[in-house]
């Protein structure tokens, strides 16, 4: 079977290789085999391939972290899935291979929907959901502020927050995406800047905001902190600026604000199959309905791996591998 593998870390376009590997074995007790249909290239994939991610695989390794496919074989003891069912590929199985063997306890049949969008169910929507629910228990009607609102996580935050009865302030870095984020359901959409706190207060009627989601870092972190209420929490889940975040320690000291980091990889390590399945059963209908949707810029085959990662590195839209 074809797969995308790396033998060393470095520039993704230089180190990804299309290889022919032995097919996966027949599924054992409690296992299934999944034939991959589609998989996105995420920024975290590029970081891993370049050797700059929080987890680095033992080399050589097939790479890729999320995707969707059809079940082609079912092992003994698996009664809730059958051949032909579509399912996500569970983290942390390396995804960029034509077939993947997986533990069926973590899987459920997905509802019918756009395969490209379902391929992006695995990482960004659960990150958004957990950012909104794991750090602060917000009552309905509360406000949440986020930057990186036009990223995959940011686009997921808006409909998930709405499903939880929360209002969103979505901060972007370009004027040309404001209307697009409003069309997704963003309650307030603003361009980042040093006067952000004043504009947020005006737009929300001086609402007390207890949760900020930071995917940018640099001065954007400082701007978010200025919008928050006493004892609020800011959760950093990415640093798309590539720069360290900037913050005022006086806010943490005198106003009892706290900073937290979040990485989905840690949550996967400590969660149970039951909690894992329940979360995805909540999120999958939002993807199928189109409430959670990420524009796809281009699709590639495995044979175009180098070209695909070059396109993904330009960050001009989501790039997907398609196997058929």
> Which residues pair with residue 91 across a beta bridge?
none
Residue 53 annotated as catalytic: yes
Tokens (6 digits) for 228:
């928050």
Smallest CA-to-CA distance from 95 within 125, 69, 124 is with: 69
Task: Choose among 188, 193, 194, 144: nearest CA to 165.
Answer: 144
Peptide bond into 109 cis (omega under 30): no
Q: Which helix (H) or strand (E) holds 4?
A: strand 2-6
Residues 6+ apart with CB under 8 A from 8: 15, 59
Tokens at 134, concatenated: 């794991």
Do the Cβ atoms of 73 and 242 come closer than 8 Å? no
The terminus-to-terminus CA distance of the chain in angstroms comes to: 14
Alpha-carbon distance of 68 to 93, in angstroms, equals 12
**Tokens 């959760």 identify what position?**
235
Q: Confirm if 183 and 200 have CB atoms less than 8 A apart.
A: no
Please identify which of the residues 53, 129, 276, 280 carries the catalytic annotation.
Answer: 53
Task: Tell me how far apart the alpha carbons of residues 303 and 19 are, in angstroms, rounded to a whole number.
Answer: 9
Residue given tokens 């980091």 in the structure block: 261
Catalytic residues: 53
């Amino acid at each position: 079977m074809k797969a995308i593998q790396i033998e060393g870390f470095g520039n993704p376009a230089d180190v990804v290789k299309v290889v022919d590997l032995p097919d996966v074995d027949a599924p054992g007790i409690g296992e299934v085999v999944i034939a991959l249909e589609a998989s996105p290239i995420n920024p975290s994939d590029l970081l891993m391939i370049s050797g700059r991610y929080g987890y680095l695989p033992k080399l050589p390794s097939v790479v890729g972290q999320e995707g969707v496919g059809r079940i082609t074989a079912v092992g003994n003891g698996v009664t809730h899935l059958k051949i032909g069912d579509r399912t996500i590929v569970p983290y942390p199985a390396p995804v960029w291979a034509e077939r993947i063997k997986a533990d069926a306890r973590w899987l459920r049949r997905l509802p019918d929907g756009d395969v490209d969008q379902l391929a992006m169910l695995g990482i960004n929507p659960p990150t958004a959901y957990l950012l909104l629910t794991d750090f602060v228990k917000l009552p309905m009607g509360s406000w949440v502020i986020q930057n990186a609102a036009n990223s995959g996580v940011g686009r997921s935050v808006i409909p998930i927050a709405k499903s939880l009865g929360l209002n969103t302030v979505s901060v972007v870095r370009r004027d040309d995406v404001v209307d697009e984020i409003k069309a997704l359901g963003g309650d307030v959409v603003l361009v980042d800047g040093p006067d952000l706190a004043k504009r947020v207060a005006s737009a929300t009627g001086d609402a007390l905001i207890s949760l900020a989601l930071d995917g940018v870092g640099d001065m954007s972190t400082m701007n978010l902190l200025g919008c928050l209420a006493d004892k609020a929490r800011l959760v950093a889940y990415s640093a798309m600026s590539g720069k360290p975040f900037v913050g005022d320690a006086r806010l943490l000291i005198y106003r009892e604000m706290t900073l937290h980091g979040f990485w989905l990889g840690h949550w996967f390590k400590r969660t149970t199959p039951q909690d894992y399945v329940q979360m995805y059963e909540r999120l999958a209908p939002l993807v199928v309905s189109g409430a959670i949707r990420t524009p796809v810029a281009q699709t590639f085959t495995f044979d175009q791996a180098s070209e695909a990662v070059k396109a993904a590195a330009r960050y001009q839209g989501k790039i997907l591998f398609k196997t058929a």
